[in-house]
Amino acid sequence: MPAARKHLSAADRALWEPALGLVFPRKPMLRPDEIAAALGVDLRTVARLFEVDGRDLAKRPWLMGIEFNAGEGERMSRRVPRDAAILFWAASANYTPAELLSLLLDVLEARTDAELLAVIERAQAILRRRA
């Protein structure tokens, strides 16, 4: 597996941006449950990703954010900036957007003409819904 990526380049961000709107809610700060839903993990996993335990942070991606007392007692709330969640996602991926696109094109190359036409029709329907 390739080493974790430390940043998301502008070119990669441009390739990912259409998908990012579907994965992460379009608001500046995200709750742990929103991140869990986007990443397909449970809340405990998100809590562990938020904790900094002194290990080598360069080797372990983690979520950056804020933690604050939400009221009486010891109940703490966490919020993660959307950009930090995106950076975590990019650092955790073992592929770049360009590699993913290349793999998708390889799959398409092996399809029949009829299958490619069906893919094109569905892609056009998706674009029309987004417009």
- The torsion angles phi and psi of 68, rounded to 5 degrees, stand at -145, 155
pLDDT over 90 at 29, yes or no: yes
Higher-confidence residue: 75 or 19?
75
User: Of 63, 35, 59, nearest to 49 (Cα)?
Assistant: 63
How far is C-alpha 6 from the chain's CA centre?
14
Q: What are phi and psi of 7, to 5 degrees?
A: -155, 170
Question: What's the pLDDT at 55?
Answer: 59
pTM: 0.59
Provide the pLDDT for residue 32: 92
The token duo for 88 is 């975590």
| 7 band by pLDDT with thresholds 50, 70 and 90 | low
Pairing of strands 66-69, 76-81: antiparallel
User: For residue 3, what pLDDT band results from cuts at 50, 70 and 90?
Assistant: very low
Q: Give the per-residue pLDDT at 4.
A: 43
pLDDT at 112: 93
Q: Is the pLDDT of residue 54 over 70?
A: no
- Provide φ and ψ at 5, rounded to 5°: -80, 140
How confident is the model over 50-60, as a mean pLDDT?
60
What is the model's pLDDT at position 2? 40
Sign of CA dihedral 108, 131, 8, 64: negative
Q: What is the mean pLDDT of the segment spanning 70-99? A: 80
